[in-house]
Every structure is written in C-alpha cells, then in structure tokens.
Structure 1
Amino acid sequence: MSENRKVLLVDDEVHVLHAASRVLRKFVDVTTADGPQEALKQIQTNGPFAVVVSDQNMPGVDGIKLLGIIARKAPSTTRVMLTGNNDQQTAVSAVNDGRIFRFVTKPCDSEDLKKVIEAGIDHHQAMVAERELLEQTLSGSIKMLVEIVAMSRPHAHLRASLIQRWARMVNKALGSKPSLEQGISAMLCTLGYLTLPDSLADRYLNGDSLTPEEKRVVNEAAAQARDLVLNIPRMEGIADAIYYCRKGYDGSGFPADDVAGENLPEAARILCALIDLAEVATGPAPSFEECMAELEQNAPRYDPAILEAMHQALGGDQVFAGNAEAEKLKVSVTELAAGDTLASDIRDAEGRLLLAAGSPLSAVTIKRLRSVESLSEQDAHIVVWRQSLAPSETESDPASVT
C-alpha cells in the first residue's frame, strides 16, 4: 500500500492558504480550497485526501459542519481544525460533530502544524490498512451467506444478483464511488427471506399477490437480516443499509421510526427503489417504462436523484439477458465455469428448483450441481451465458463492491 500524502487546506482567507501552502508543499502534496463548497468539490474530484485542515470561522458553513460532512463522505480522511477560539464548547463541538483528529488553536507554529499533519497521515494510513484487512476478512463470511441464500432460496439469490447489478449501474450514474456498504448490502438484502415460511417466500418472489399482513411480514424480514449480519464484527453500516432498505424517502414503510430523507443511508435509499423495481418487474415481463411509471405513482417514497439515475442507467435492463460481451452456450455439468450465468432454471429429478435462471455460478454452486445424481448420471447439459473474455474477479465475486 503506497503512502497517501495528499493534504487539503481550507480557509476563506486566500493569503493564509498561500502562506501555509508554501510551507507544506515541500513535504506533502497540497491542494487548497477557499471555502466549504470548493473543499467538497475537491473531495469529490481529487480525493482521497490523507488529511484535511480546515479553518473554523468561515461564512456559511463553518469548519465544524464542514468536517462533519467530510467525515461522512470520506471517513478515512483525517480531519484537523484550526481556530482562534479556545473555548471549551467549540472544542467539544469539533470533536463530537466534526469528529476531528486534532484541534489546533491559532496562531500555529509551522513546525507544530507539520507534526500534526504527519500524525494525521499516519492515522489515515492505519485506517486504510484496517479497512483493507476488514474487507479481506469479511469476504469469506459474505460468500458463505450468499451461498446459503443461493442453496436455500434460489429465487432470492437471483433477485439479489439482479439488484446488485442494478446498484452498480445506478451508483455509477449518481457519480458516487463504490462502497463496501452498497456492494454487500445489495447482495444480502434478501437474506431475511430465509426466515419466511417457504410458501410465503415462494409466492412473494414469484410476484403473487400478498395480503397486507403478509406484506408486513416480508418487510419486517429486513430486521431479521440486520440481526444476522450484526453477528459479523464491523458490519454495522451494512446492517443499517439492510435494515432500512424497505424505508421510503418520505418516511413510509418499515421500520416505523422518524428516520427519512437524507438521514437514511444512501445504500438503503438505492435498495428501496431497486427492490420495488424488482417486485414490479416480476412475472410477465413489462417494459422498463411501465415499471418506472408504476414506481413514480408513489414518487415521494424514493429519493428523486436515485429515480433519475435509474432512468439514466438501467434502460431496459429489468431482467437478465446476455450483454454484448456474453455468449449463450449449452455445456455439460462438468464444463460449467465460475462466472457463468444460468440461462434457464435447473431442477432435480423431482422437479425441485435448485438454481434459478439468471443466477451467477460460483465454485461452490458448481460443486453442488455436480453432486446432484440426476444431473451427473445423465451428464446433463445446461444453457449458460458466458463472457467471451474470462470474467474478472469483480464480475464473478458475489461480495464485490465495484
């Protein structure tokens, strides 16, 4: 992991920025912003920064509020605040609201500022290293949960795979960077369906009509999924995204609390719209325009920016189909490869569904299919979509967030 030494200085006094930049540019990569709006623009376009040093007293959005926003948008960036105020309340607010690493009073000696920034860079590197280790450690747990859903609820696994693909496209249209929360929460958003009675899960995933009580039970499965995910350390953000994936932007839906609008996790807002899209697209294939028109009859339920991104990104992609790089093949069970996608349902000798059309195959699911006696004895042939080029790890890994 290469060391990130990018530092963003924020101050509405341009001469202060120039003076600090001259001192610091000799040992770090300095970018300046003459106010909060420019700072957020730099975070979006030139990040990630190892350290942000912001003045407190700026017109409009002060330093505490700015650093609080940055904490949400770039949590691994170390935040330092410079201020002429040394009262206790300012310090408390800076720590609690801005979640800062250091609180430095003016005037600040240049050598002291260098030491603070070096400590901030070290802190940033430690956070990035911890996150990378976390992602690697989580990968096995996530894959296990995904495989359990695939084997226990094939149609739920198919829906999750579909929603994950949509989420990647919508995320790109929104201009957001891929996140662990968005990628994994999309794959695990159907985990709670494991707790539903078999008949209810099947009817829901087949698009059958449900009673209001049955709809409530389906929605509350998000709480069961949240509780399962919370058994894995450091999954709190993903658990929150799954818990609120049935909560509308207007506060409607489950759970019945006061969280709404921008206070909902972005991943949850995306999932809410995509889960509803998957529901209206189930059954006889309607057009994408018809699906979106049905969603827009209840427009307050969805983040307007996400609805717009769905229009831009999804087009007619509401059901699985081979893309321009995929080839439709009929292969034997022994010829299946990780990264293939089923083009038709697979059932056992009794007609029970093993994997649904549209499901991506992994090494585990292929091993399971090869162990099915009725398939192996007949050397059954299965129709799949296969990338003309070898699929990348990102495309074949169900826990991928890119």
Structure 2
Amino acid sequence: MSAVRESRTVLCVDDEKHILSALRRLFRTQGYEVLTEESARAGLALLETRPVDVVISDMRMPEMDGVEFLEQVRLRSPDSMRLLLTGNADVRLILDAVNRGEIHRYITKPWDDHEMSLVVRHALERKALVEEQRRLEALTQSQNERLRELNQSLEAKVAARTAQLEASNDKLKRNFLTSIQVFSSIIELRCAKLAGHSRRVADLARRLARRLDVDARDTQLIFIAGLLHNIGKVGFADAMLEMPVSRMNGELLGLYRRYPERGEQLLMPLEELREAATLVRSHQERFDGEGFPDRLAGLDIPLGARILALASDYDNLQIGVLAEHSLRPEQAAKLVIDSRGKRYDPMVVAAFEELTSGRVPVEPKHDWARRVHELHPGMRTSRDLVRGDGSLLLSAEHVLTERMIRQLSEFEKLTDTVLTVYVNLEGATQ
C-alpha cells in the first residue's frame, strides 16, 4: 500500500475561530491542504464545489449540530472520512453520530496534536485502501468480462463447426483450462512467495480426489477450484499479501476472512465456473465448524472444499502464508495429520497420509522426456511445462508446431536454461 498522498484535503468546520486556526496550523505542517468553515451550512456548500478527503466537525454549532452536519456529509460526499470533535463525553450524542453520520472516529477537546495527527493519518490510509481496493476490483471485473467474451466467442466457433464438434470441444476444454491457469497467476505475479502455489494446491487436490475415488468430472472441478481458490485476494494490497495470517488482527483479519466469499462473487458470473465458485467459497471452512465464511461443519462442507482446505494449508505452511516461519514438508504434514477431525475431514487426512507416506504406488507415466532440440511438429505434450518460478509456459495436451518449438528454443537461449518437455508415447520415438 502506498503512503498517503500529500495532496489530501482536510475540511475543518467549527464556529470558534481559534479552534480553526489551531487545526490549520497543525495540518499545514504535515503537507495537507486545509480548508476551514465557521458553519455547517458553509461546509456543505463547499462540498458541492470540490472533493474533500477528511471532514472534521465540532459537535456543538449554531443552526446545525455536528451529528446532523456529518449525516449530511455522508449523504452528499460518502467517500469523505468523517471525524467528530467534541468537548464532552456524552455517549448518547456520540452513538447518534456513529449511527447517523457513520463517523470514523471522535476526538475530545482539548486534543493532543500527536494523537490528532495519527487519527487523521489513519483515516486517510483507510480511505486510500478503499480506493485501491475499488480500483483492483474494477480491474478484475474488466478481466472477468474479457474472459466471458472470449468464452462466448469460442462457443460460437464450436457451434459453427458442427462437423468437427468432438475435436473442437477437446480444444475448447484445453484452452479454457489454460486460461484459468493464466488467470489464477494474477496474484502470484504480485507476491514472490505465492509463485506456483495455486498449481501445487490444484495438483495435490486432484491426487487426493482420485485417491478418494471421486469421479472424473468432479475431480476436474476440484482441480479448477484449486487453481482459482485464491482469486478473492486480488483486491489485497501488496503488503497484505506478504503478511502471514498469524500477524493479522482487527480490521485486517476481517478483510482477509472475506476473500473466499469475494472469490465466489468474482467467479459466479461465468456459468462454467459456478460449481467451482462454491468450492472456492467453502475452502476455508473447518471440519469442526470453526471456519469461515459460513461456519459449516462436517459433511455439510462440500467434499471438494474439504480436500482444498487440506491441500491449501499444506502448501501455505511451507511458504510462510499462515505463520512467519516456513515449515519443512514433513513438519507441515505432521500439523495437518494432527488436525484430523478438527480442521480437516479424517477421511481426507487418511488419503493424504497414504499419498505422503509413499504407500500409494506412483502411477506410471506413459510419456517420454525430451529436450527442445529433440521435439518434432505433431508431438503432443503430456504434462504442463512450468518455469522454475511456477509460471506456466505450455499446458498439457498441446500439439506442438514448428513455430512453438522455435519459440521454446529461443526462450532457452534468452534465459540460459534447459527445458524438459514431456510428450505422449505415440508422438515420440526413443
């Protein structure tokens, strides 16, 4: 989050000139533009002509008291942060100001300059946070709309090519999954420790689902939800993305706990993602009912969400999202297993134990590893091609073309790396 801008404007309204003079001297030394008015009506008239970031009003004024004035400010300039300056501690009046004017804070006279400065600064920082969140939400909505338009365009093309329906549908599914993978990396580009997190969570969730004999369609749905489970964090400031959950409290923790619900809201406009959106909403629920946002418990939590809860926490424990200190895989696994029946479904934990203990045989891969210079047009990738930082270069099931192979070769030269590409057996020769 950036610091509060020096161009912020503070409006002080009080019928006592010496109070206005004191406030003007205090705030001008801090780089704010300070406006003063000696009556509530004059203050309201000024708000009609220009935006104001913070409004400070005295409680007792002729014609209109501070409660009525701040209520009018809320109606006419809802984005202005509202502070009440009062010479008494009348709880009823203060509650009236909170209910009607929705004030941010109240300050008693005589005030301490340092405390007054902190209150105004905190109000401005909160306003800046709200503005940044709105900007990011608008950006996300725009990207969501673009993705919807792309999907509609693809569906129209598939409908127009009835003769090639089966092949076109396969291609559409692959492209849609690739779009989701790219979309899910938006947050990870802003926070280094999150790089590759969504892909790892989705992969572990898919393996757990298979171990639990979940059918292929629902397994794919859980995989997609795993890629998108953190999308509700898109409105978080960079500093909040970097902060471990264990250090959050108060308003910050409240904002954090709304991200699963926000993720559902962002995905619901896309019909293809509505089922995944339900899993995204519930992936922070706990088996004992102490999770959020709905405090679901036990089997009331969708199975996919129960799987994602374990997969997400297991990776978050290792990258420092939940606590300040990152854990080794075996330490994270022990914490997960010890939380059986509390945070996690015992059935999902049992499947996780089998996967991590090595008792589950590794499924043989019917593919071959190839260097880029060994690739040929027509080969089909069998696994996602991922960079070292976790970002996706090429998704599985892509048919390689001469142009793709040339681009991979150029990428190796530019980054001084050696890529290993896995291709299906029928498209490779030993």
Greater Cα radius of gyration, structure 1 or 2: 2
Greater relative contact order structure (CA < 8 Å, 6+ sep): 1
TM-score using structure 2 length: 0.45
TM-score using structure 1 length: 0.47
